[in-house]
Amino acid sequence: MIINIKYFGLLADITKKKEEQMVLDESSFSVGFLKSKMESAYQELQNTNYSVAVNQAMAGMDTNIKDQDIIAFLPPFAGG
Amino acid sequence: MKNSTRYTRQIALPEIGALGQQKLQNARVLVIGAGGLGCPVLQNLAAAGVGCIGIVDGDIVEETNLHRQLLYTLKDCGKSKAITAANVIKELNPNVEVKVFPEFFNTQNAFEIVSNYQIIVDCTDTISARYLINDVSLVKKVPVVYASIYKFEGQVSVFNYKNGPSYRCLFPQKEGLNAVPNCVSSGVLGVLPNTLGALQATEVLKIILEIGSVLSGKLLLYDALQYQTQIIDFSKNPREIENGLKNGFLIRNQDSDKVGATLTQETFLEKCRQDHCVVIDIREAYEEPKFNELNVVNVPLADLENYCGTLDKSQEIVLFCQSGQRSELALAYLKKEGFTKLSHLEKGIESIKIHLETK
């Protein structure tokens, strides 16, 4: 399956990209699974506070991700 | 004011009318932070005729603010932001009653400051202030109109509106010392906070006027470089609401001396010269400006646990970092470890930079 991941704020600096497409063998998995996968790919993510949205709605750790979903990795911004 | 034509063009909108203008006149809005976001929020609320505006900011105007904080001019440098902003918006619209709080919003003054307001506008620049504002607003049952920026991006939302979701529902607080990024200030495009501040002011006016749909349970994302906006929905998380309420009540009920004390610049510098204090610079070794007073040791946050294992729990410890975020976290950590005499420099070494340069 194919998913699209978008990175915001500091997370785009860490991954050095605003978005990427991922091709995965699994046919469905949870946000928690994706999170740990991404945190081993980009280890700095482990020290960052962020939330994950699936198809423009905030998701919990056990929310299911399906083919063609759009995932957003969103950190809080501090600046003002 | 009755015969003034000032508001004619907005009264002409059927959604506002004379009744709406009266609502604005009766409204009491607290703007916390008079920086990049605060300036456009204050300008727009004052111009629209919001009757009473409170301004909270303990900072002073610096030249590096002028590319984005359009209420200030070169001659204001060195002056209080809150007082300067108040003078400018009073001139912009003399009908507005302005209250000034030239201090940083913290656990000790929070409830006193918010007591008379019906809407809080979060224009601060630290994550810890944002949690604090959220928790106080939860207890007081007043909505928070939130915005924040990072480089070319921004976020806007409204929290605790008519019992709606909280900041904590969107971003649950992460435990532990690793949660706060290094606060070396990043760059920002000058127009960005002005755009986001205008969006914040719009939400404030909609709440007062009871028109349209408010960004409650919705996070607006804005990217100036790609010109992309999108809205992310989020819902109420009862556990997070409870965390926020718990913390809010704790702050309201505690004696001020039990709270980890926050230090002003003057008391901080005094403590640095007192032999019985251990002053810990918890920044990384590379961070500037250096601050090598007599009692200062440099122990980066990650090494704090080891270092403090060697200290007596009754030792007086003063913590500081760049902007006060990490030191606040470190203070909470050491408190949990059983240390009793703790304080930290509220806004970090950045806030006394000018002081250092003129020394």
Please indicate, yes or no, if residue A17 is contained in any of the structural domains.
yes
Same domain, B203 and B331: no
Domain's final residue, options B253, B270, B297:
B253
* Number of domains chain A contains: 1
- Residue of chain A minimizing CA distance to B167: A76
Please list every residue in chain B whose beta carbon sits closer than 8 Å to the beta carbon of residue A49. 171, 173-174, 179
Percent composition of chain B: helix, strand, coil (DSSP 3-state, to 5): 40, 20, 40
Residue B207 backbone dihedrals phi, psi, to 5 degrees: -65, -45
Helix (H, G, I), strand (E, B) or coil at B113: helix
Same domain, B313 and B237: no
* Sequence-ordered list of residues with C-beta below 8 angstroms from that of A34, at least 6 positions apart, any chain: A3, A52, A65, A71
Domain of A11 in residue numbering reads as 2-74
Q: Which of B39, B57, B155, B326 to mutate to test the interface with A (most CBs of A within 10 A)?
A: B155
**Single-letter code of the amino acid located at A18:** K
Per-residue pLDDT of chain B (359 residues; tens, 9 = 90+): 555 899 999 999 999 999 999 999 999 999 999 999 999 999 999 999 999 999 999 999 999 999 999 999 999 999 999 999 999 999 999 999 999 999 999 999 999 999 999 999 999 998 989 999 999 999 999 999 999 999 999 999 999 999 999 999 999 987 654 444 544 567 899 999 999 999 999 999 999 999 999 999 999 999 999 999 999 999 999 999 999 999 999 999 874 444 457 787 778 888 888 888 899 999 988 888 888 877 899 999 888 888 888 888 888 899 999 988 889 888 888 888 888 888 999 888 988 876 565 44
Cβ–Cβ gap A47/B178 under 8 Å: yes
Same domain, B78 and B182: yes
Please list every residue in chain A whose beta carbon sits closer than 8 Å to the beta carbon of residue B157. none
Cβ–Cβ gap A76/B170 under 8 Å: yes
Please indicate, yes or no, if residue B1 is contained in any of the structural domains.
no
pLDDT at B20: 98
Tell me if B279 sits within 8 A of B296, measured CB to CB: yes
User: Is B58 touching A (CB cutoff 8 A)?
Assistant: no
Please indicate, yes or no, if residue A13 is contained in any of the structural domains.
yes
Same domain, B245 and B296: no
Above pLDDT 70, what percent of chain A?
100
* Number of domains chain B contains: 2
Shortest CA gap A37–chain B (Å): 19
Phi-psi region of B151 (alpha: psi -120 to 50; beta: other; left: phi over 0): left
Find the CB nearest B148 among A46, A57, A77. Answer: A77
Same domain, B230 and B279: no
Cite the DSSP H helix spans in chain B: 8-11, 17-26, 38-48, 81-92, 110-114, 127-140, 167-170, 191-209, 238-253, 265-272, 304-308, 325-336, 353-357
Q: Could you give the C-alpha distances from B312 to B262, B263, B294, B319, B321, in angstroms and in order?
A: 21, 22, 20, 16, 22
Residue B262 backbone dihedrals phi, psi, to 5 degrees: -105, 140
Contact residues of A toward B, CB < 8 A: 8-10, 18, 46-49, 51, 53, 56-58, 72, 74, 76-80
Please indicate, yes or no, if residue B287 is contained in any of the structural domains.
yes
**Single-letter code of the amino acid located at B187:** G
Domain of B314 in residue numbering reads as 261-357
Q: What is the CATH number of the domain that holds A36?
A: 3.10.20.30
Please indicate, yes or no, if residue A51 is contained in any of the structural domains.
yes
Same domain, B212 and B316: no
Domain's final residue, options B253, B271, B289:
B253
Cite the DSSP H helix spans in B273-352: 304-308, 325-336
Q: Which of A51, A70, A77 to mutate to test the interface with B (most CBs of B within 10 A)?
A: A77
CA separation for the pair B184, B350 (Å, rounded): 10
Cβ–Cβ gap B234/A57 under 8 Å: yes
Q: Which of A14, A49, A50 to mutate to test the interface with B (most CBs of B within 10 A)?
A: A49
Q: Is A16's pLDDT higher than 80?
A: yes
Helix (H, G, I), strand (E, B) or coil at B77: coil
Same domain, B16 and B154: yes
Please indicate, yes or no, if residue B43 is contained in any of the structural domains.
yes
CB atoms within 10 A of CB A59: 22
Please indicate, yes or no, if residue A55 is contained in any of the structural domains.
yes
Please indicate, yes or no, if residue A25 is contained in any of the structural domains.
yes
pLDDT at B183: 47
Task: Find tokens 């440098």 and name the residue.
Answer: B77
Cβ–Cβ gap A79/B149 under 8 Å: yes
Please indicate, yes or no, if residue A65 is contained in any of the structural domains.
yes
Q: Is B308 tagged catalytic?
A: no
The ipTM, to two decimals, is 0.96
Q: What is the CATH number of the domain that holds B344?
A: 3.40.250.10
**Residues A19-32: tens digit of each pLDDT:** 999 999 988 899 99
What are the residues facing A73 on neighbouring strands? A7, A52
Same domain, B164 and B239: yes
Cβ–Cβ gap A76/B325 under 8 Å: no
Pairing label, strands B144-150, B119-122? parallel
Same domain, B324 and B220: no
Please indicate, yes or no, if residue B237 is contained in any of the structural domains.
yes
* Sequence-ordered list of residues with C-beta below 8 angstroms from that of A38, at least 6 positions apart, any chain: A5, A45, A73
Same domain, B180 and B217: yes
Question: For B99, what's the count of Cα atoms within 13 Å in the CB-facing half-sphere?
Answer: 16
Which two tokens mark B102? 């030239």
Please indicate, yes or no, if residue B210 is contained in any of the structural domains.
yes
Domain's final residue, options B253, B273, B298:
B253
- Residue of chain A minimizing CA distance to B37: A80
What are the residues facing A65 on neighbouring strands? A29
Q: What is the CATH number of the domain that holds B152?
A: 3.40.50.720
- Residue of chain A minimizing CA distance to B225: A18
Q: Is B52 tagged catalytic?
A: no
**Residues B73-116: tens digit of each pLDDT:** 999 999 999 999 999 999 999 999 999 999 999 999 999 999 99
Please indicate, yes or no, if residue A80 is contained in any of the structural domains.
no
pLDDT at B257: 46
What are the residues facing B29 on neighbouring strands? B53, B119
Same domain, B24 and B125: yes
- Eight-class DSSP state of B151: B
Find the CB nearest B233 among A49, A57, A76. Answer: A57
Q: Whole-number mean pLDDT of chain A?
A: 95
Please indicate, yes or no, if residue B88 is contained in any of the structural domains.
yes
Please indicate, yes or no, if residue B350 is contained in any of the structural domains.
yes
* Residue among B123, B183, B277, B308 flagged as catalytic: B183
Same domain, B242 and B297: no
Please indicate, yes or no, if residue B3 is contained in any of the structural domains.
no
